[in-house]
Structure 1
Amino acid sequence: MVSKLEIPSGTQALIFDCDGTLVNTLPLYANAWAHGFQPSGQTMQRDWYLERAGHSEHALMDLFDADHGVTVDRLQVIDLMRQRFIMDVAAVQEITAVAGIARAHQGSIPMAVASGGSRQIVSACLQATGLAPLFSTVVTIEDVAKPKPAPDLFLEAARRLKIEPTLCVVFEDSPQGLEAAERAGMHAFDVRSL
């Protein structure tokens, strides 16, 4: 992992996670998931979600099913959750310390977003915060076979940027994302230290 905020020499691309890294989506997701799970008849507690934030949509639904003894209608839950999130997206805030890194490197090094979120939500967040123009490409869960901690998202971002994975630095906030970056052979910076 990158131990300081200094970008390692030889770095040729920067790759940013979105949720919890570039933008603070936790409050919006907590409300949206609670809304999505309502038809199950089980209430999703905010603390339950916060302890599991960072999981892909399907992994989170697996955990909800197991913890609440239900089998949710996945398409319905995702549809309701995303509708609620998009309805509230104007409230999303950038994480200034990390967004500032992206802005500082705009035009000097290729940059991508690699997020386990849906394209609909990631794009809406980047648009709402004005961050979208900073990035050459955006890779989301729809673009790969496996979510983090598999390296697929980061490897696809490097492929699209036409940069060797070992020459990329990843900015991440979750253990799954940091593991994915490591498995992709990339340097990783844990933004929680900011």
Structure 2
Amino acid sequence: MIDIPADTAALIFDCDGTLVDTLPLYLKAWQAALQEVGGLDVEAAWFAGRGGYAEQMLLAAVEKSFGVTLDRPAIISATRRRVRETIEGLRCNVPVITVVREWAGRLPLAVASSGSREVVEASLAAIGLLDVFSAIVTIEDVEHPKPAPDIYLLAARKLGVDPRLCVVFEDSHEGLKAARAAGMMAEDVRPCSEFRIAP
């Protein structure tokens, strides 16, 4: 059970790995796109610990690890397309979704994700929650990705609330660091992860 402080003005949720388990979809999509566009075979183990990376951060790490220069736009486009094509298999993080449903209509809710808008909105639509959030902020909306605080500060601004009165739900080191740098309270959802199909 997650307690929400009494003075909380808004709740802000990461998407991938927090609301929904897109990480397995992204893993297969990245592997396929890197093979198809870049001619690279990247083992699943390489991606371990990089689940919170924004697209450009991940590709920079691939280039450094494998000593290559990639066609980043083409790989990103192929990856997003493959994730969208498999979105029907998406699973929810039930404890976090329960918080969303409990507080919808009682507090302003936002999503602040390092993912692309097309995938984030498709993910939320797939689990029937797209219309629940008053603001959706994605990697296209900010100059600096997590762990910079930009994405969370923009979400608070769009909701019209003081960042210090926001509670953030996150599943990555980068995201938690970003939320705290924004002056927000941060809940690490990893201990309560229970991915399964939402009822």
Instruction: State whether TM-score is above 0.5.
Output: yes
TM-score (ref. length: structure 1) = 0.96
**Partner of residue 141, structure 1:** 139
Q: Write the mapping of 1:78-89 to structure 2, written as runs, cut at 5 A.
A: 78-89=76-87
Gaps of 5+ in 1: none
Gaps of 5+ in 2: 193-199
Q: Write the mapping of 1:9-48 to structure 2, written as runs, cut at 5 A.
A: 9-38=6-35, 39-48=37-46
Which of 100, 103, 106 aligns to 2:101? It is 103
The letter for the 1-side match of 2:68 is: V
Q: Secondary structure at the match of 2:16?
A: coil
The letter for the 1-side match of 2:69 is: T
- Work out whether residues 22 and 94 of structure 1, in 8 Å CA contact, stay in contact via their aligned partners in 2: yes
TM-score (ref. length: structure 2) = 0.94
Q: Secondary structure at the match of 2:186?
A: strand
Aligned residues: 191
CA distance, structure 2, for counterparts of residue 95 and residue 87 of structure 1: 20
Range with bigger deviation, 12-21 or 38-47: 38-47
CA distance, structure 1, for counterparts of residue 63 and residue 82 of structure 2: 21
CA distance, structure 1, for counterparts of residue 40 and residue 51 of structure 2: 18
The letter for the 2-side match of 1:83 is: R
CA distance, structure 2, for counterparts of residue 167 and residue 104 of structure 1: 18
Q: Write the mapping of 1:1-194 to structure 2, written as runs, cut at 5 A.
A: 5-38=2-35, 39-194=37-192
Displacement of 1:50 in angstroms is 2.8
CA distance, structure 2, for counterparts of residue 7 and residue 23 of structure 1: 21
Displacement of 1:193 in angstroms is 1.7
Q: Secondary structure at the match of 1:113?
A: strand
Q: Deviations over 1:26-82 (max 9, x none)?
A: 110000101111122221111111331110000000000111111110011011111
